[in-house]
Structure 1
């Protein structure tokens, strides 16, 4: 005895939609679409920082200010190639060093400073502005690069 399959129109459309989703997903996850992602993971990652300033006036009328790296903490993976792009928004000059990475430079107002490094050792590295090293000089202007 043979069976006759009767497919209702809505079931046909649901089955066709499911096949399209499965087939479309297969195409999306094909080798050609994965390879650029894998290639990108070996390339240099750009992290952008800006120099910012907080300014206020005390009850006595004294102006106080503090300069900051923004964001103040960045996290990178061990072995990752990094392009650190720092843009000077506030303050005229910010000579800096990154402890433990042998990197130094200067950020100037209205200009971009770029440094490149590979994060080979786990740890926390301080990004220190030499002009604003303590409260008396509008700081401490210290950022952190955490290599995990």
Structure 2
């Protein structure tokens, strides 16, 4: 004796919905197994900067100069580990601080100065040379670290 199955349209919709739900659950589980939730250390990114100088002579023969960090602005991501490598090209020495990160140091001509930090808070942090603070002292020599 053969059986005849009568399937109503609403039963097809319910079966299709159940299959979709099952598949989306499997995809979600697989996605979760690919992306680790464990705290894995991220690689440290190196950012290179140099100390540069602009120098010119005015119409009356006066020499003017201004020092700068180059690049003047760097952008890092929140939570990123950073190695900031600064090479002294112009000027004898540049004691500096990075406001808000409790970092200070000194860049000397012909030398590399390296500082490490993790960008934990969004914002803009000023990299300030303490020798060249204003126009009277061939500045202001200020760079910016932007944390997004």
Tell me if TM exceeds 0.5: yes
Distance 1:78 1:140 in 2: 27
**Distance apart, 1:85 and its partner CA:** 0.1
Residue of structure 1 equivalent to 2:67: 67
The alignment partner of 2:105 has SS state of: strand
The alignment partner of 1:136 has SS state of: helix
Structure 2 stretches lacking a partner, 5+ long: 1-40
Q: How many residues align?
A: 108
Structure 1 stretches lacking a partner, 5+ long: 1-40
Residue of structure 2 equivalent to 1:128: 128
Residue of structure 2 equivalent to 1:147: 147
Q: What TM-score, normalized by structure 1, do the two folds share? A: 0.72
Residue of structure 1 equivalent to 2:24: none
Alignment RMSD: 0.8
Distance 2:146 2:133 in 1: 20
Residue of structure 2 equivalent to 1:88: 88
The equivalences for 1:85-124 within 5 A come to 85-124=85-124
Q: What TM-score, normalized by structure 2, do the two folds share? A: 0.72
Distance 2:141 2:43 in 1: 30
The alignment partner of 2:136 has SS state of: helix
Higher Cα Rg: structure 1 or 2? 2
